Structure 1
Amino acid sequence: MSTPDPRHHIPFRLVRKGVVMSPLPGEANEVEGVLNPASGRTPDGTLHLLPRLVSEGNVSRVGLAEVTFTDGMPSGVERRGTVLEPDAGWERGKNNAGVEDPRITWVPSLGLHVMSYVAYGPLGPKPALAVSENLTEWTRLGPIQFAYQPDLDTDLNLFPNKDVVHFPEPVPGPDGQPAYAMLHRPMWDLGWFRPGEGVHLPAGLEDERPGIWISYVPAAEVEKDVRALVRPRDHRLVALSEFDWEALKIGAGPAPIRVEEGWLLIHHGVSGVPEDDPFVPNRRVSYAAGAMILDPADPARVLARSAQPLMAPETEEERSGTVPNVVFPTAIEEVDGTRYVFYGMADAHIGVAVLERTV
């Protein structure tokens, strides 16, 4: 009998609990879907989702929705309006606009919710940050400005980037000093907006598939001025696609959480047939959810990762929608000792699953 590879042992599973939010008939901001929510708690402790709301023409906003419960389980929402619109010029292109796919991390040492989101502006998707003390009023910090790193022989600011999420506390930086760290996913193909330009890989990278990277800002700088968060440096590769279920690309999901094994990162993986344009809906791929354990002493180091997905598209809402076959986890919250993962379903609805320990 073969011995299981400990590098592929993730002692957690996801168990579906149903749909918690669907587009509201007659609501103009939701005619093309509600999906991929962030989450957080207002100062009174009330749990909220901050879903991506998509109106006609694929224009996205960030909404606010109070989570309601039935028998202790998240079962629905009560809408509380919108908190972020594509108002800034760099969030609007000539034929597109959007503030998309928010991820929120509550950072106690800063006393702030840190939201990362995708600003879909003139040069396509670029990551940006905003902060809030109360979850309802947000201050833009602006687009992320990656520091130049000579050993990469490239400028990360050239490339579209998505799936940005922050750790909830300072972690050891590459120099061993405390730093606020963010995970992100650069995309190396520049041909989509400059035809013929093609793929430009950083030095030392031979695999052009988008993967998970980490960048840091020294904690002392952020605690002096939170605007330092938009100027990360010390960029390092964390993980690339490894298994069939994530063969095309991978990206971070909700903010990492501390577990006894290290930092648990739920991530998504994509398989199937890629499209020439990565920014149009692709109906020939499948998005599934997996997990990694990152080293608490060096969060750029993967200790273990799931060889099989923890959850793949199975239900009708996951298999049919704006983009079919999508399970896209983006938020995780603990309620009375139970961890709930909220996820996008086929770019149309929002579902919830329970994160359970298996051993």
Structure 2
Amino acid sequence: MTKMWLKRIKNFLKKPKPKKPRKKRKTRPKPKLIIRKCTQLPLKLEKAISNPIMEPKYKNKWESWQTFNPAAIYLNNKVHFLYRAIGEGGLSVFGYASSKNGIHIDERSETPAYALKRGFLESLTKTNAPGYSSGGSVSGCEDPRIAEIDGTIYLIYTTFSNWSELRLTLTSISKDDFLNKKWDQWKKPVFISAPNEIHKNWVLFPEKINNKYAILHSISPNIQIDYFDSLDELDGKTFIKSSYSRSYIKDGWEAYFRGVGPSPIKTSKGWLVLYHAEDKKDTSKYKLGAMILDLKDPTKILYRAKQPVLEPSLPYENNGFKSGIVYSCGAVVIDDTLFVYYGGADTVVCVATANLEEFIEPLTQKLRKTSFIKKLKK
């Protein structure tokens, strides 16, 4: 028998050593329930299946390139649009269209409803700045906002000639002349922003506030509004002093605000203001945000959505003159439904909708307690 086997037998005959008691395994404590406060997100706007609802008409030279960023107003059971159009020559003008149900276009003009007359563009300050395009145009009127007060239709838009100067401009027409499409009755436009400055995205509130006309002209670094007893005070020599800066926003999705979208919409909770901003995660895209301003003092922000309410996610918002753009200049309410009209990729007109009360309710809800389980580190 070999030594190896003798050793194995000897070890086998030995008394077994008593087993050491096993240490109790530490049990992982159950996750602790944490109570924190959070807010619900606002309802997203639903894009129409039939988008885009307006596209360039190649047979009309004045709108053969781009049709986008429409102003919108609901009058006499119709939505009336003044949309920005660019065609051969690069001149930006406004076309007219209308819709009975807010989505399908029933009528569309074959000629511009509004264009700057000769001599007006020449009144801009002469500079040596190179000629860059603005949204595809080399000059003209762009991005209209519309409001009706006491039987008068007011139109605020940007006049563009070169990038050294973009000036906000005001004109008006009687409601009757507007509905009858008497486009030669537009009043002579006047500049309402100062020369040698760049401004965009100014809107007129659709009703007087404290018996005064109110123009919202900046939301960054704060809400800026000017009030007037009469808009005749803006005579082309008196200008609104406005300041804009890309102030960093700590709380929210926005890298910074760009500007207001449509004219504010009056709701039971306050003035609903839709605005353009760039996302912190992707500053190459324009998205739409929402906030509620106080009815009596609209310089006060009561609520603000923590996420964008409209984003460029579909082909018609990413394939065009400028990719990744949703840009709104018009919105209306029809039978409790909010219709938001916007330009997709600076090329086509689109619409998104939501029930107005359902849209703003989560936005204005008070903080509520919500529980969740906090993950513990291993």
C-alpha contact (below 8 Å) 1:245/1:271 kept by paired residues: yes
Select the residue among 65, 72, 79 that pairs with 1:32: 65
Q: Retained in 1: the 8 A contact 2:155–2:171?
A: yes
Unaligned runs of 5+ in 1: 147-156, 173-177, 187-209, 275-283
Root mean square deviation of aligned Cα: 3.1
Contact map agreement 2:265 2:272 (CA 8 A) in 1: yes
* Pairing 1:152-231 to 2, within 5 Å after superposition: 157-172=195-210, 178-185=211-218, 213-219=223-229, 221-222=230-231, 225=232, 227=234, 231=238
Cα deviation code 1:74-108 (max 9, x no counterpart) = 12352123121132434357853210011101123
Distance in 1, Cα, partners of 2:243 & 2:321 = 34
1:117 aligned partner: 157
- Confirm or deny: 8 A CA contact 2:58 2:65 kept in the other structure: no
1:79 paired residue number: 108
Q: Which moved more, 1:299-308 or 1:328-337?
A: 328-337
**Compared CA separation, residues 112 and 226, structure 1 to 2 (3 A):** farther
CA distance in structure 2 between the partners assigned to 1:66 and 1:38 by the alignment: 11
TM alignment of 1:1-359, pairs within 5 A: 1-5=35-39, 11-17=42-48, 18-41=51-74, 44-67=76-99, 69=101, 74-80=103-109, 81-91=111-121, 95=131, 96-108=138-150, 111-121=151-161, 123-133=164-174, 134-135=177-178, 136=181, 137=183, 138-145=186-193, 157-172=195-210, 178-185=211-218, 213-219=223-229, 221-222=230-231, 225=232, 227=234, 231=238, 242=249, 245-271=253-279, 285-356=284-355, 357-358=358-359, 359=361
Q: Secondary structure at the match of 1:29?
A: helix
SS in 1 for 2:322: coil
> Structure 1 residues 141 and 59, CA, compared in 2 at 3 Å: closer, same or farther?
closer
Fraction of identical pairs, as percent:
26
**If the length of structure 2 is used for normalisation, what is the TM-score?**
0.70
Shift of 1:168: 1.0
1:36–1:329 CA contact under 8 A, matched in 2: yes
Kindly tell me the number of residue pairs found equivalent between the two proteins.
300
Change (3 A) 1:10 1:125: farther
Separation in 2, partners of 1:321, 1:234: 35
Partner of 1:189: none
Greater Cα offset, 332-341 or 259-268: 332-341
Query: What's the secondary structure of 1:168's corresponding residue?
Result: coil
TM-score computed with the length of structure 1 as normaliser: 0.74
CA distance in 1, matches of 2:313, 2:281: 19
Distance 1:159 1:50 in 2: 26
The alpha carbon displacement at 1:328 in A equals: 1.0
Could you say what secondary structure the match of 1:322 adopts?
A: coil
